[in-house]
């Protein structure tokens, strides 16, 4: 029986890569299961749960790419030079757009600490622009609020963590959803 020469030459690398693929898939599956279980016990909305799962997926994909470089023996100085250049460019871009990062981070914090839910009526204590409104939706970067006048307000998630907030009415039942004073 004739074997493929390339398979013999790179047997260790191919085996390690296959094991890595299995481990990464297992980690992604396990992480998603844990996050979904937490979300179910905490009544977290599905799109917020999927967002956190996506963040972990990006992390695992990055970890996979770095591991494949190491397994296949790519020269460390080449990898580090390339990664440092990419990290520098990304770092400068993120520093210039720190508000984007802070809103993503705030969205994750809101998911896990979960101080309020969609349907809750809140008061945001801001001396220049106080807001009293019902939470319509909580997204990755911002939260949509609806005032009793029907005005739709989009507020960045990081401001929700920075400002004092009073929860005036929790949403528990469809009959309680009416916005009242």
Residues 122-140 have a mean pLDDT of 87
> Using H for helix, E for strand and C for coil, what is the string for 60-72?
HHHHHHHHHHHHC
Query: Whole-prediction pTM value?
Result: 0.49
Phi-psi region for residue 73, left (φ > 0), alpha (ψ -120 to 50) or beta? left
Strands 131-138 and 142-146: antiparallel
Separation between Cα atoms, residue 29 and residue 115, nearest integer Å: 28
pLDDT of residue 177: 47
Q: What does the pLDDT look like over 39-94, one tens digit per residue?
A: 888 776 677 788 788 888 988 998 898 888 888 877 767 767 777 887 777 777 66
Separation between Cα atoms, residue 142 and residue 99, nearest integer Å: 11
Residues 12-28 have a mean pLDDT of 93
% of the chain residues with pLDDT over 70: 80
Q: Tokens 């749960």 identify what position?
A: 49
Strands 164-169 and 121-125: antiparallel
Is 81 buried (19+), middle (13-18) or exposed (0-12) by CB count in 10 A?
exposed
């Amino acid at each position: 029986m004739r074997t493929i020469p390339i398979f013999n030459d790179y047997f260790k690398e191919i085996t390690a890569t296959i094991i890595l693929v299995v481990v990464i898939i297992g980690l992604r599956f396990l992480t998603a299961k844990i996050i979904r279980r937490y979300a179910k016990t905490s009544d977290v909305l599905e799109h917020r749960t999927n967002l956190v799962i996506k963040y972990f997926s990006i992390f695992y994909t990055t970890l996979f790419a770095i591991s494949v470089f190491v397994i296949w023996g790519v020269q460390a100085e080449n990898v580090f030079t390339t990664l440092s250049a990419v990290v520098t460019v990304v770092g400068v871009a993120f520093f210039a757009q720190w508000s984007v990062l802070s809103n993503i981070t705030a969205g994750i914090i809101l998911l896990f600490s979960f101080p309020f839910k969609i349907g809750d009526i809140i008061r945001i204590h801001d001396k220049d622009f106080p807001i009293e409104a019902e939470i319509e939706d909580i997204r990755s970067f911002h939260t949509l609020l609806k005032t009793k006048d029907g005005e739709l307000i989009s507020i960045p998630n990081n401001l929700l963590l920075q400002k004092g907030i009073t929860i005036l009415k929790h949403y528990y039942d469809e009959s309680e959803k009416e916005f009242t004073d």
